[in-house]
Every structure is written in structure tokens, then in C-alpha cells.
Amino acid sequence: MENSAEFATVSQLALTKYQALGNDYLVMDLPGPLDQIVALLPRLCDRNFGLGSDGLLAFDPASMRVRIFNPDASEAQKSGNGLRITAAHAVLEHGAGERFDLHTVDRSNAVRVLSREGPEVVTELDIGRPSFRAADLPANFEGEPDQVGLETPAGTVVAVLVSVGNPHCVVFDQPVTRERCLELGPHLERHPAFPERTNVQLCQVVDRARVRAEIWERGAGYTLASGTSASAVAAACMRRGQVGETVTVAMPGGSLAVRREANGDLVQSGPARRVYRATIDLSDFS
């Protein structure tokens, strides 16, 4: 993070809020007082006493690099909706073209703009190739287990473990409801099998082209939609042979289309929309 004295006493900050299928983020442009803002995230993101958000995207338009932070101030490895929101911000606020790359901590992510209408931008995002190696999540299992049983205080579940740049635990054969997600999510996120915690999805296959999912995000909690979660769910269902090469993942906030390329990469497409621009007084949240 930045520690420049230039930003040590900043009192006001320009933020832009976006949402992608109800998954909302605050976006700040770098350079800026990142350490100061991250420390305030639990208050800024609070939906009753703050601005309300699923996290912060810190975007450097010069390098097209983005860092992703959860409401608990932890840094996320990846966010599909967060990247598509960043792509929309790059287009709307910085004049990005039809094709460009966004850089995260571990890779470049190819973006293609499909359409733009007012404050909404629809993009296609290359998520990369999923991995089912337990070590890549990481998870305390050997090799590439087809499925694992996990015991929790809310019951025992069967899950497929997959990394799409961040860890996911895709649960099958459970009620795909908000209530069950709230019961299982906190236990699975912090299950001893996941030393760095995990994202959690409850999944139901509707047919070979459509699945339903409820989502509990690591560091954020119950979430209306998640791009990496949609990709993880699609990957898990493809691995089980339950869906085809293209699948629509329906979440409470809306649906994302995910397809598998010939090289194994997953590509997702969907909208992101600017909600507002604001300048806040940081002393209000200190």
C-alpha cells in the first residue's frame, strides 16, 4: 500500500460507486491515500452507518492495475464483478477503448467491451483457467479431489473445490436458499480445511444450460452476485459433466453467462453500471 506523506492528511476523497448485478463497489483512482481509506473500509462499507458497499476497487489508470479490498479491509485476490466494474470505470471515466487488459495481483485479465449505454457498460472478461488442485486454493486435501465432505455445525456437505484465481467451495445437494447460505457460509468460509478461508456457493443445476447459486463471499458475507463465484460454479458443474460448454449462472442479483474456451479459460459476460459520483469528507468516518 501507499505510505506517501503526500496523502497523509487528506480530508476529502472522490469516489465513484458502481453495481454489477447488485454486487456493489466503491472505486477510487490512484494515486491516492490508499492506506487511509482501507483502514476506514469497515465504516465506509457499512450499509446502515456508511456508504454501503461490498468493497473497494483501487484503480491506477496509468498502469490499468486494480487492487480489490473487502469490507473487512482484507485484500482479495480477484473479483469478476469487481473487474467488470473496473472495466466500466475505465471506459466511462478514463476513455478506455474496445479491448484492453486489467492487471491484478497475479495476472492480466483481457476485457472486451460489448456495449455501452449511458452509465452501463457490458463487457466480456477472461477469468482464466480454473484449477481443481487443492494446493491452489489452498485446501488441506491431496491432489484434485472430485468432491469432498465437510462437516460443520450446520451439517455435513459435499463440495467441489476450485480456484479461479481465488478459492471457492461449491456445495451441491443443499437447498439453494438465502437462509441455508447464511447458515453454512460462515462455517465453510472459516472451515479448518481452508487455511486462507474460502468463498462459498450453494449450487443447483436446472438443466444443461442453466444453474442457480447463492453466494457467501470471503471477507464480505452474503452477496447478491459474484463474478468469480459464477465462474467457479460453472467450472464445478462442467467438471461433474452436468452442463455444456456455455452456462448461465442465475444469482439473486441477476445472471452471468460463462463459457469455456478451447484452451480451458473461462470467459464471462455481463453488465456493470455507475450509480453515483461523490466527494466524501473522511473525518465523517474516522
> Helices (DSSP H) in the chain: which residue ranges?
34-44, 80-94, 178-189, 227-239
- The pLDDT value recorded for residue 4 is 43
Beta bridge partners of 19: 24, 273
- The pLDDT value recorded for residue 8 is 52
Low-confidence ranges of the chain (pLDDT < 70): 1-9
Helix, coil or strand: residue 35: helix
In this structure, are residues 184 and 157 in contact, taking their beta carbons and an 8 Å threshold? yes
Q: 3.40.50.880, 3.30.70.141, 3.10.310.10, 3.30.70.1560: which CATH number matches 134-262?
A: 3.10.310.10
**C-alpha cell, 113:** 467491451
- The pLDDT value recorded for residue 5 is 41
CATH 3.10.310.10 fits 5-128+272-285, yes or no: yes
Phi-psi region of 173 (alpha: psi -120 to 50; beta: other; left: phi over 0): left
- The pLDDT value recorded for residue 251 is 96
In this structure, are residues 111 and 127 in contact, taking their beta carbons and an 8 Å threshold? no
d(CA 215, CA 110): 25
**C-alpha cell, 158:** 459435499
pLDDT in tens, 104-143: 987 899 999 999 999 999 999 999 999 999 999 999 999 9
Residue extents of the structural domains in the chain: 5-128+272-285, 134-262
| Nearest C-alpha neighbor of 185 from the set 201, 162, 196 | 201
pTM for the structure as a whole: 0.88
- The pLDDT value recorded for residue 9 is 61
Strand spans (E) along 37-119: 56-60, 65-69, 75-76, 99-103, 108-117
- The pLDDT value recorded for residue 286 is 80
Length of the chain (residues): 286
d(CA 55, CA 20): 13
In this structure, are residues 257 and 248 in contact, taking their beta carbons and an 8 Å threshold? yes
Whether 134-262 and 5-128+272-285 are alike in CATH topology: the answer is: yes
In this structure, are residues 160 and 132 in contact, taking their beta carbons and an 8 Å threshold? yes
